[in-house]
Structure 1
């Protein structure tokens, strides 16, 4: 009987110890899970980056007028507010229903920027992107995408007008001229970088030279009166020699700006007797 009492007491003791261990484990797990839950509550998810003050325009003067010029660059700048470190900044520029003309080449731009000065919290984006001289003029779409190390991303977009650095407008010229007289030409020149040269070339199209006539080609330099102007009215009278052969003449007007960009305008005139 003593042996049975001892075994019963031992069983009760072991049972109580086992229950206490189980309760201790359950209590520990409860405290651990509560602690993790508290930690999660105390560390909310970080917000995606914010992009503000997005501006762009001609790079020559850091313009914000959303206009840029072929053969020059476009300036872009934006303020980025990021709670997590930025991992990349992507810039995309592509044409908006722009058809390349003669001598022009379709232009699209895309680059992912991972420079050290951008892979931080709250960087400032500032870049100058070259526009090819052969790019078609027209409206281009701009997209700026910022992604942080948490995988959050934000995008802003806009449009920029890419213009020719030199334009000719309001062109007027006589259709024909009697040899021995002069013909009148006028047009407006707009050159954002300033006018450097204005040249005129007149030449015949394989015209036969008759008795008493002399082959006539004309090369005129009218640069002096227009030099360095950003806007000027070309208004000139060009003499045709009385000995010039009769026929059709090809005329090329060439304007060069101070940055070396050129613009040509071609036309024809009939020289009569």
Structure 2
């Protein structure tokens, strides 16, 4: 009798262990299937990546200093997106006076992006004090499984106004004039050109008058997009001799400006 009871208990235990083993195998199989399914998901795909001047949603891959860049892309993601990063930088551009390098980096984690198949759409401001030239642009998408995809291209950043080929006299005599010329390229057309001339703390002698003048030129330049500025500017006979600061400022029809600064020595004769 005891033998039968013991045998029944052993059979029950065996059945119980078998059931546990079965469910363990089943759960492990489901887990393996889930892992296999997750690992088989493809990395995100970036399509329709476009960028350009922000004000008109251009796709010409050109932007202007002081404006903004429009960027857009479709992201096909089988797993939820965890982050989108954008990088914009240049290589070995020459810095002019007052300019700084621009190395833009931003990670986007807006709720609208942390989904399956989001549309990326952003506007990035372009600083005014960076060098014009070619910039490298990279868009990277990472999903929750760690899959990563990157797309890249190049962006040309331009000035609305470009000044070049300067030729300005460095000395001039009182009562004479000085010559100034340079090339102007203004995308939106020239509104006017202002020449500001002044000195700092020059002693004013008998019969002399401090020379602080702003001269505006528009005739022969207004509304043109490419022209040579060529003028002879009179120096008053009453101006104190010494060093003067001269600033040429070109303003276009949209209010954008570009300046060139130099110095001139005014002599007594």
Aligned: 1:152 with 2:144 = no
Aligned: 1:113 with 2:108 = yes
Pick from 193, 196, 199 the counterpart of residue 198 of structure 1: 193
Residues 19 and 268 from structure 1, CA distance in 2 versus in 1: closer, same or farther, beyond 3 angstroms? closer
Report the CA distance between 1:113 and its aligned residue. Answer: 1.6
Aligned: 1:130 with 2:125 = yes
The 8 Å contact of residues 210 and 245 in structure 1, kept in 2 or not, is answered as no
Q: Give the match for residue 3 of structure 1.
A: none
Whole-Å separation in 1 of the counterparts to 2:14 and 2:242: 118
Q: Give the match for residue 72 of structure 2.
A: 77
Whole-Å separation in 1 of the counterparts to 2:243 and 2:21: 105
Report the CA distance between 1:220 and its aligned residue. Answer: 0.8
Aligned: 1:266 with 2:255 = no
Report the CA distance between 1:111 and its aligned residue. Answer: 2.1
**Larger CA Rg, structure 1 vs 2:** 1
Residues 208 and 159 from structure 1, CA distance in 2 versus in 1: closer, same or farther, beyond 3 angstroms? same
The 8 Å contact of residues 209 and 215 in structure 1, kept in 2 or not, is answered as no
Aligned: 1:169 with 2:164 = yes
SS at match of 1:60: helix
Q: How does 1:60-99 map to 2 (within 5 A)?
A: 60-98=55-93
Q: What is the aligned length?
A: 266
Report the CA distance between 1:38 and its aligned residue. Answer: 9.3
Q: Give the match for residue 220 of structure 1.
A: 215
Q: Give the match for residue 41 of structure 2.
A: 46
SS at match of 2:248: strand
Aligned: 1:143 with 2:122 = no
Q: How does 1:14-25 map to 2 (within 5 A)?
A: 21=15
Residues 40 and 114 from structure 1, CA distance in 2 versus in 1: closer, same or farther, beyond 3 angstroms? closer
Whole-Å separation in 2 of the counterparts to 1:116 and 1:41: 26
Residues 193 and 84 from structure 1, CA distance in 2 versus in 1: closer, same or farther, beyond 3 angstroms? farther
Residues 250 and 57 from structure 1, CA distance in 2 versus in 1: closer, same or farther, beyond 3 angstroms? same
TM-score by length of 1: 0.73
Tell me, which stretches of 5 or more residues in structure 2 are unaligned? none
Residues 69 and 19 from structure 1, CA distance in 2 versus in 1: closer, same or farther, beyond 3 angstroms? closer
Whole-Å separation in 2 of the counterparts to 1:216 and 1:70: 34
Tell me, which stretches of 5 or more residues in structure 1 are unaligned? 1-5
Residues 21 and 215 from structure 1, CA distance in 2 versus in 1: closer, same or farther, beyond 3 angstroms? closer
Residues 18 and 116 from structure 1, CA distance in 2 versus in 1: closer, same or farther, beyond 3 angstroms? closer
Whole-Å separation in 2 of the counterparts to 1:114 and 1:26: 44
CA RMSD of the aligned region, Å? Answer: 4.0
Residues 83 and 95 from structure 1, CA distance in 2 versus in 1: closer, same or farther, beyond 3 angstroms? same
Report the CA distance between 1:35 and its aligned residue. Answer: 6.4
